[in-house]
């Protein structure tokens, strides 16, 4: 009896394995790597049917994990959507290919504000996807946001109700901006000052989390949180007591963009997919799913009014000029990590 | 009498502790909203979405398939290895055992990255097989850990007696040794299965494109918040396993009693 | 026959050389080289990474991790031993069920269960809402060190119960009867007979709880709010964020040595060497 059970297990698993594991189809495959909940999945099926291809879709959590796999050659994707500072690194290390923009006519819809940035100065390797900034999501009922300053996060009246990010560069950015320094500084004196500021803040911090802080704001367990603008959009729609502010000292601008890794075998197909995503229709469907700010000049005209009224979605153009972009920290990340570790070891 | 009640209450508390989060997961899988903490109403929508979510279903298939195959292969590999290692002496045995336990002792991330480097240096294609291989690598030591104590307990003389009575070594192995160490084999199998099902980091660094498992999917949800579809899946898994357990119980309880009488007579 | 039985192990020996020893050697190699020398053909050996680790900041993190892991292990032992004892004394038909019920939670994804604890312990969470309903004050439970310890106990207690149960279940009942006949009361029987005989199981349990507890990073992240960095978090950050595999490897080697050391100390208690985790 036992032997039969084991045998059945074996056979079953081999069958499942054969059915799901092997892709012995003749269709072309497109392998895509993206952040989670960052695309309307129906777009994938639509593209698959329209072009008679199969899409392998994987998700990841942080750009650094993704970088290890791409750099080591362990993964061979055709399209990767990632953040600007990591794209900067991948371009510098020749891990991505130049794009043939003849295959991406819809590129014309991408706003000029999002081109010619420092990570891809000649716009040769990437196409912007979503963008946003760093700001403070706060509860209007309990927090006085009139100061419009990063100092809000250091307000002792809200001890233990403040959430900072687990991401050290973002938390440091808040401190550095408050002090008037660059978020990419490598000046150890400036970094030490920021570190001291963060150490002073520690007793006031409820938790250092990157995931799920909007959820905590929605249930009103915290008064304010350091968040990316895109996260704030969803939170504000779930709880009208919440509001979002980009402090006057300035913030950062981040752009998530699409790149094609150099290991691809399907460059043209990937470019076709990029073009597809850049169509107004696809972009609108993506906005509906993701709720992050759009780079698309046509789509923004057709977006819901509710979204347009949301300050976390509709970021004023004037603010963009004051925003700094994160640079690839590969050479100097130790400076930050060391100080972050010291902060954590208090 | 009091002792019996105390025992029952104690186990009750332990089980409440063990199952509290699982029950919460189950209850909120029926929650109307995405919220992890606010109950807004009863709804089956996450279960329906689960049927439409191809990616989560694929992750589930990979997780289970790899866990089953890993458990089977590492149990077989581990049993044979344990029998051999047990027959070794002194330094040789100690050396093999110490190396064997390295994956147990190393943090997952070190095992994961070092295996990834290994596969790259051998120019292997990353995919299903590399992930499966890694799972077998880190599970087998646990199997050996479960079986060795039982082997040491084994009465050497029994095997010798069997062979004196005419049994061949293979027969002695099958009919004498294996049944005696069976509890160790079963524990080893369950451990391998459990570890494989939950593994994240090692799988992440040794998998290929298109291959994934539940832990990886859940971890990448961390940025935007875990969707309740996963809760629905976990609840279904829980119910299936519980049903299996009740079924197995009914069968073994039917068999147990006659056996027991025989043994105590001997 | 014994002479040939050991050949059974030879295939596995080859296996572990390939998949365990080789990667471990790679880790060792990384730990004694530096980032700069990675790209060059000449390898520059150095103990720099280890020296870096022996600074107060990092040693504090190490000590903190060991401390929290030790507390969790002790709590697991205190809570798990009675459970194992009760199960081993239960009616035979019930034992497997009880054991299975102990393992079953581990088959639900660890991340999910930890997220569920966040729902239970949160300020607006289930427990606090019950307290508020009963008129009790709200407690700040989540994002504390206590929550981290509880999380570790929760996740690892089955690893304590199982080996102790295994040791208790193979205990010869005749010994207990003999002790009883010779006039020992229940407490002495436990102290002098049961507990010592269950030692191999206790040691296995301690090892299987302490090790993952010391190197875990998810639990302090989710339940502890990332407010204290544990050695697991540090290693993860170094490997992934910093790309500093050298320093990360050095720390892993240190951790490995500490664990191996504590295992060998523990094995001194396992007089009959029944634990199976042989060292030196």
Domains and CATH numbers, chain C: 56-269 (1.10.3720.10)
DSSP code for C242: S
Q: What is the pLDDT of residue B259?
A: 41
Per-residue pLDDT reduced to its tens digit, B42-96: 888 888 888 888 888 889 999 999 999 999 999 999 998 988 888 888 788 888 8
Residue from B110, B132, A83 nearest C255 by CA: B110
3-state secondary structure of C90: coil
Q: What is the mean pLDDT of residues A217-243?
A: 91
Residue from A312, A332, A15, A82 nearest A185 by CA: A332
Which chain B residues touch A76 with a CB distance below 8 Å?
209
Best of B121, B202, B203, B209 to disrupt the A interface (most A CBs within 10 Å) is B209
Residues of chain C with pLDDT below 50 are: 1, 41, 274-280
Q: What is the mean pLDDT of residues A195-221?
A: 90
Q: B76 with A78: CB under 8 angstroms? A: no
With an 8 Å Cβ cutoff, are B221 and A36 in contact? Answer: yes
Q: What is the pLDDT of residue A11?
A: 65
C179 to C169, C176, C196: CA distances (angstroms): 17, 5, 14
Per-residue pLDDT reduced to its tens digit, B134-163: 999 999 998 998 888 778 777 677 777 777
More confident residue, B257 or B98: B98
On the question of pLDDT at B107 being above 60, the answer is: yes
Task: Provide the 10 A C-beta neighbour count for residue A259.
Answer: 26
Residue from C152, C137, C274 nearest C223 by CA: C152
Q: How far from the centroid of its chain's Cα atoms is residue B239's Cα? A: 18
Give the chain C residue whose CA is nearest to the CA of A339.
Answer: C57
A203 to A198, A337, A346: CA distances (angstroms): 10, 20, 10
More confident residue, C213 or B167: C213
Q: Which chains touch B (3 or more CB pairs under 8 A)?
A: A, C
Q: Tell whether C133 is within 8 A of chain B (Cβ).
A: no
Task: Provide the 10 A C-beta neighbour count for residue B91.
Answer: 9
Cα(C200)–Cα(C166) distance, integer angstroms = 10
Name which of B17, B78, B114 is nearest C26 (Cβ-Cβ): B114
Q: What is the mean pLDDT of residues A97-120?
A: 94
Cα(A66)–Cα(A80) distance, integer angstroms = 9
Q: What is the mean pLDDT of residues A38-61?
A: 92
Q: Which residues of B101-114 are buried (b: 16+ CB within 10 A; e: fewer)?
A: bbbbbbbbbbbbbb
On the question of pLDDT at A38 being above 50, the answer is: yes
More confident residue, A223 or A321: A223
With an 8 Å Cβ cutoff, are B224 and A36 in contact? Answer: yes
Cα(B102)–Cα(B122) distance, integer angstroms = 21
Q: What is the pLDDT of residue C266?
A: 75
| ipTM score for this prediction | 0.85
Name which of B24, B145, B152 is nearest C274 (Cβ-Cβ): B152
Which chain C residues touch A221 with a CB distance below 8 Å?
122-124
What is the radius of gyration, based on Cα positions, of chain C?
23
Name which of A208, A221, A333 is nearest C227 (Cβ-Cβ): A208
B73 to A15, B48, C23: CA distances (angstroms): 16, 35, 21
Specify the CATH number for B54-227+240-251; select among 3.30.300.30, 1.10.3720.10, 1.20.1050.10, 3.10.20.30: 1.10.3720.10
In the structure, what pLDDT confidence band is assigned to residue A136 with cuts at 50, 70 and 90? Answer: very high
Q: C280 with C264: CB under 8 angstroms? A: yes
On the question of pLDDT at A189 being above 90, the answer is: yes
Residue from B202, B259, B230 nearest B47 by CA: B230
Q: A155 with A131: CB under 8 angstroms? A: no
Name which of B24, B149, B245 is nearest C116 (Cβ-Cβ): B24
How many Å lie between the alpha carbon of A280 and the closest alpha carbon of chain C?
36
Per-residue pLDDT reduced to its tens digit, A64-90: 989 988 988 878 899 999 999 999 999
Q: What is the mean pLDDT of residues A162-182?
A: 94
Q: What residues in chain C have their Cβ under 8 A from chain A's Cβ atoms?
A: 57-58, 60-61, 64, 122-124, 140, 142-143, 221, 225-229, 233-234, 237-244
Q: What are phi and psi of B127, to 5 degrees?
A: 180, -145
Per-residue pLDDT reduced to its tens digit, A121-134: 999 999 999 999 99
């Amino acid at each position: 009896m036992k032997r039969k059970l084991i045998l059945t297990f074996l056979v079953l698993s081999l069958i499942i394995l054969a059915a799901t594991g092997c892709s012995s189809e003749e269709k072309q495959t497109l392998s895509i790597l993206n952040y989670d909940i960052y695309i309307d999945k129906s777009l994938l099926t639509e593209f698959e049917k329209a072009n008679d291809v199969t899409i392998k879709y994987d998700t990841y959590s942080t750009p650094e994990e993704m970088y290890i796999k791409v750099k080591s050659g362990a993964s061979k994707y055709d399209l990767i959507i990632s953040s600007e500072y990591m794209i900067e690194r991948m371009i510098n290390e020749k891990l991505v290919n130049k794009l043939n923009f003849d295959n991406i006519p819809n590129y014309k819809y991408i706003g000029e504000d999002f081109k010619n940035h420092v990570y891809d100065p000649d716009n040769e390797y990437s196409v912007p996807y979503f963008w946003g900034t760093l700001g403070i999501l706060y509860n209007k009922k309990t927090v006085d946001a009139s100061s419009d300053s990063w100092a809000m996060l250091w307000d002792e009246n809200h001890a233990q109700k403040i959430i900072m990010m687990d991401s050290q560069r973002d938390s440091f950015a808040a401190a550095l901006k408050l002090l008037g320094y660059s978020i990419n500084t490598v000046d150890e004196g400036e970094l030490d000052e920021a570190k001291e500021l963060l150490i002073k803040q520690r007793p006031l911090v409820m938790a250092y989390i990157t995931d799920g802080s909007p959820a905590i704001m929605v249930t009103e367990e915290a008064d304010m949180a350091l968040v990316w603008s895109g996260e704030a959009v969803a939170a504000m729609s779930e709880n009208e007591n919440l509001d979002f502010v980009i402090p006057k000292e300035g913030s950062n601008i981040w752009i998530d963009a699409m790149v094609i890794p150099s290991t691809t075998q399907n460059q043209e197909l990937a470019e076709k997919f990029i073009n597809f995503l850049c169509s107004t229709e696809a972009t609108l469907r993506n906005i509906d799913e993701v709720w992050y700010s759009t780079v698309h000049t046509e789509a923004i005209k057709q977006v819901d009014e509710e979204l347009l009224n949301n300050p976390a979605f509709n970021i004023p153009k004037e603010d963009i000029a004051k925003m700094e972009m994160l640079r690839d920290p590969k050479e100097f990340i130790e400076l930050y990590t060391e100080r972050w570790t010291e902060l954590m070891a208090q | 009498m009091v002792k019996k009640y105390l025992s029952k209450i104690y186990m009750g508390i332990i089980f409440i502790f063990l199952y509290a989060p699982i029950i919460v997961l189950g209850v909120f899988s029926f929650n109307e909203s995405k919220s992890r903490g606010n109950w807004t109403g009863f709804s089956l929508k996450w279960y329906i979405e689960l049927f439409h979510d191809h990616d989560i279903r694929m992750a589930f298939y990979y997780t289970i398939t790899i866990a089953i195959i890993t458990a089977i292969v590492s149990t077989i590999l581990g049993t044979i290895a344990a029998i051999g290692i047990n027959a070794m002496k002194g330094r040789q045995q100690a050396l093999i055992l110490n190396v064997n336990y390295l994956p147990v002792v190393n943090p997952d991330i070190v095992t994961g990255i070092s295996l990834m480097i290994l596969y790259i240096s051998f120019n292997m294609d990353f995919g299903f097989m590399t992930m499966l291989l890694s799972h077998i690598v880190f599970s087998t030591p646990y199997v050996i850990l479960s079986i060795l104590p039982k082997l040491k307990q084994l009465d050497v003389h029994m095997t010798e007696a069997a062979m004196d009575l005419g049994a061949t070594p293979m027969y002695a192995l099958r009919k004498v040794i294996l049944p005696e160490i069976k509890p160790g084999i079963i524990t080893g199998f369950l451990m391998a299965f459990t570890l494989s099902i939950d593994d994240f980091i090692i799988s992440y660094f040794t998998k290929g494109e298109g291959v994934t498992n539940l832990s990886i999917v859940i971890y990448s949800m961390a940025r935007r918040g875990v969707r309740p579809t996963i809760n629905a899946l976990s609840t279904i898994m829980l119910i299936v396993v519980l049903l299996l357990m009740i079924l197995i119980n009914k069968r073994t309880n039917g068999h147990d009693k006659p056996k027991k009488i025989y043994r105590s007579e001997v | 026959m014994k002479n040939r039985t050991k050949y059974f192990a030879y295939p596995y020996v080859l296996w572990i050389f390939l998949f365990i020893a080789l990667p471990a050697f790679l880790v060792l190699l990384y730990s004694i080289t530096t980032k700069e020398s990675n790209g060059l053909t000449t390898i520059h050996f150095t103990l720099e990474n280890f020296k870096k680790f022996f600074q107060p900041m990092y040693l504090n993190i190490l000590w903190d991790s060991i401390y929290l892991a030790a507390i969790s292990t002790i709590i697991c032992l205190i809570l798990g031993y009675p459970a194992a004892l009760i199960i081993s004394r239960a009616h035979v038909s019930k034992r497997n069920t009880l054991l299975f019920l102990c393992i079953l939670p581990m088959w639900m994804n660890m991340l999910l269960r930890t997220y569920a604890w966040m729902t239970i312990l949160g300020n607006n969470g289930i427990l606090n809402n019950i307290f508020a309903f009963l008129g009790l004050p709200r407690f700040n439970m989540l994002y504390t060190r206590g929550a981290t310890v509880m999380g570790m106990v929760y996740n690892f207690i089955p690893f304590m119960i199982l080996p102790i149960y295994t040791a208790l279940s193979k205990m010869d009942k005749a010994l207990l009867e003999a002790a009883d006949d010779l006039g020992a009361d229940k407490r002495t029987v436990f102290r002098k007979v049961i507990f010592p005989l269950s030692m191999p199981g206790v040691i296995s349990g301690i090892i299987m709880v302490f090790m993952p507890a010391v190197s875990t990073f998810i639990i302090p992240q989710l339940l502890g709010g990332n407010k204290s960095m544990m050695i697991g978090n540090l290693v993860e950050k170094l490997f992934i964020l910093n790309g500093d595999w050298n320093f990360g490897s050095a720390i892993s080697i240190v951790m490995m040595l500490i664990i191996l050391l504590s295992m060998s100390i523990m094995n001194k208690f396992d007089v009959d060497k029944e634990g199976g985790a042989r060292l030196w």
